[in-house]
Structure 1
Amino acid sequence: MSEVFEGYERQYCEASASLTRKCTAAAALQGEKLKQKAAEIKSGIDGAEALIRKMDLEARSLQPSVRAGLLAKIREYKSDLNNLKGALKRITSGNAQQGAREELLESGMADALGVSADQRSRLLRTTERQNQTTDRLRDSHRTMLETEDLGVSILHDLSQQRQSLLHAHRALDDVDVNVSKSRKTVGSMVRRMDRNKWIIGLIIALLVLAILVILYFKLVH
């Protein structure tokens, strides 16, 4: 529930309770005092009506899932306010005699104010239950956001670890390629050394043979 709506709602409930007390007190008045009290009640009813309009505007700006419940509460508040208007009208209807006011107080006022009190009590209980439900939903939403943040953090860490593993894998591939090249180079060097050994051996053999041939001809001649 919107905190703005809750603020208007608290103000209205307080204003409605105050207007009920003033209507009860006005029923026992007459003359100028009754006119002053009636004007005061009329001003309070106008203020309460303005609060209902503000609640209605705020409720219609919210999401549909929340809006329906708030509009239902506003209808009950309007009914409560209509009861207060009816009570004020009966008080100021021109029955100046004390007996008529007493009858109004005992019959119509008692019924209207009793209904209003019962409606306010029911509305306050409903509001409390809705506030508790809203708090639970808010806690669940906060828990969901925390879980989502934790999941995002874990995915981020896993992504970094994956990048590190891929980097290490590429490094190992580069090392393997370098080792293969080195192995080929060493193999090629070994083969050249073996070939050079055979060439040197052949040259030495030819030199020895040439020396032997030279010695032979010197000794014979």
Structure 2
Amino acid sequence: MNNSPTSLFDSYEQDFNQFIDSIRQKLDGDGSAEDPEQHKGSLRRTEMDLDEADEMVSQMEIEIQGIPASLRPQYQARLRSAKADLARYKKAHRESRARADLLTRTSSPGTFASSDNPYGGREADRARALAGVSLLEDGSKRLHDSHRIALETEEQGAEILSNLRQQREQIENSRNTLQMADSSIDRASGTLKKMIRRMYQQRVVTGAIIGVLALLIIIIVWEKFS
């Protein structure tokens, strides 16, 4: 498993490119050669792919925040390129859908309200309203998912900060313990030096006493025999 900080961004970008390729194939196809209903179905599938591509861009925007600052500029450029591609194909999709609607109305006069079918326009308006509601619900769902992901990311960030704070406290406690141990070692070293100095002093005093005693013994023996 790739645990690099850019792996998720790369994965979302790969999925985005797959959706863009699918959208390009649908929009570049000759829609005039299709049946109007088939063409509408193709446009609906294209719209779904655009929604998925938009979701991938949102995920890329979230993941780019966790990329190291040294690598972030090149990934920001890739994100801008993805946004530009998405905007271009959204515009192409709107134009293609507008042409399809125009062709449908031209080929099906009954779609417009007339004296023979006064409710035709209302039915078309109702269908468009329902489609708008569906798009609004999809947008609300994506917004909710993005908000949920942002909250999860915030919780993970807070947990990481808490762990880092605990580790910092542990390091500071360890440093204080080491400082106390170093101070104790210094005190013990000073005590040992004092003991060694006193030991040498005692040796000198003992040697001096032995020398004096030996000199007295020599003097006493000398006086005795002389």
- Using structure 1 for the length normalisation, give the TM-score: 0.48
- Structure number with greater Rg is 1
Using the size of structure 2 for normalisation, the TM-score is 0.47
